[in-house]
Amino acid sequence: MTEKAVLGLMVGVFALLVIAFFSIKFIKRYRRKGYFKRHWQDLQKYCASKETWPLAVITADKLLDEALKRKKLKGKSTGERLVSAQRIMSDNDTIWFAHNLAKKLKDEAAIRLKQSDVKKSLLGFLQALKDLGVME
């Protein structure tokens, strides 16, 4: 083979590697958003009954923690990761309200929830997931 042929082959292989890299990155990002969207739709089913409202809030908190971990934010707990993500979040007060409500629900089973608190929490979790780029 001539030098031109070898150089052409190397450029072709490099171009294929670049295309493959960006294709894989795009597919992973698309799947990630689909993953969170599916789980969000599943947890919305818990909103149908007052008895399952706590499960909706706790599940949303777990989903947020998973998104924070995937974004590789520093911290050992959800709260620590939320502190790391403060600059990313558009509504820190609401997400902290939602996270603290989820913690209370995990610790105490007999909490009486208001519909407005559940709604506020879920909207806060949804906005946080959007801010992290895992939901549209």
Predicted model pTM: 0.76
pLDDT 10s digits, 40-99? 999 999 999 999 999 999 999 999 999 999 999 999 999 999 999 999 999 999 999 999
- Give one DSSP letter per residue of 54-113, joined into a string: HHHHHHHHHHHHHHHHHTT---SSHHHHHHHTTTT-S-HHHHHHHHHHHHHHHH-S-PPP
Q: Is the pLDDT of residue 121 over 70?
A: yes
- Quick one: pLDDT at residue 111? 85
